[in-house]
Amino acid sequence: EQSGQIHEIGFTLYMDLLERAVQALKAGRTPELDRPLDHGAEIDLGLPAILPTDYLPDVHTRLVTYKRIASAESHAELKDLQVEMIDRFGLLPEPTKNLFAITALKLKVQPLGIKKLEAGPKGGRIVFGDSPNINHMKLIQLVQSRPKDYKLDQAAGALKFVRDMSEPEKRIAQVGTIVAQLTG
C-alpha cells in the first residue's frame, strides 16, 4: 500500500514525509505533516522513475532502497548503490535506471540553486531559487543567441526552453546538457 502512495505524491516528498513521521513517533510526538518541507530541487521529467514490484518484490526492501537512493550525497554513492543492486537483483529495469539518472540530475542541480526542473516531450522550464549559483552571462548569451529555443520568465524566475524531447530515453541527457550550459 505504501509504495502505491509514492507514485501519487512523488518519491522525494513521500520519503521526507515518512522520515518526519518516524522521527516524531520515536520522540513520542504527533507528526506535523502539514508543515512545509525543504526537500531540495524538484525534478519532473514525465518519466517513470520507480523500483518496479517485479524487480524488487519485497516492500520493506523496496522502501529501504528508495530511502538509500534519496539519501545519496554524491554521484559515487549512487554508482555504488547501482552496482550493489545489479549484483543483488539483476540488471536494472528502465524505470529504475530513470530513478538513478533523475537522482543524479538532482545532485547536479541542487548546488546551482535550482528549485524546480520540469521537462516533457516539447520542452520545459528551470525555476531558479532566490540566489542561483549559475553563470548569469552564459544564461543571457544562451537566451540572446537562441531566442526561439530559450526565454526568460522573470516573474516566475524561470528559464523556459523549447526542444524536441519526445524520446524519453534521451530526455534526461538533453536536460543535463541544458543545465551544463548554465555553469562554468
- Rounded to an integer, the average pLDDT of 3-13 is 61
Q: Given a cut of 90, is residue 83 above it in pLDDT?
A: yes
Q: What is the pLDDT of residues 12-71, one digit of tens each?
A: 667 777 777 887 788 787 766 665 555 578 999 999 999 999 999 998 899 889 989 988
**Mean per-residue pLDDT over the chain, rounded:** 87
Q: What is the pLDDT of residues 136-153, one digit of tens each?
A: 999 999 999 999 999 999
What are the CA-CA distances from residue 36 to residues 6, 19, 33, 39, 141 (Å)? 18, 14, 8, 9, 36
Q: Which amino acid, 10?
A: G
Q: What is the pLDDT of residue 184?
A: 66
Q: Given a cut of 90, is residue 176 above it in pLDDT?
A: yes
Q: Which residues of 118-153 are buried (b: 16+ CB within 10 A; e: fewer)?
A: bbeeebbebbbeeebebeeeebeebbeeeeeebeee
Q: What is the pLDDT of residues 84-95, one digit of tens each?
A: 999 999 999 999
Q: What is the pLDDT of residue 19?
A: 77
Q: What is the pLDDT of residue 11?
A: 67
Q: What is the pLDDT of residue 147?
A: 95
Q: What is the pLDDT of residue 10?
A: 64
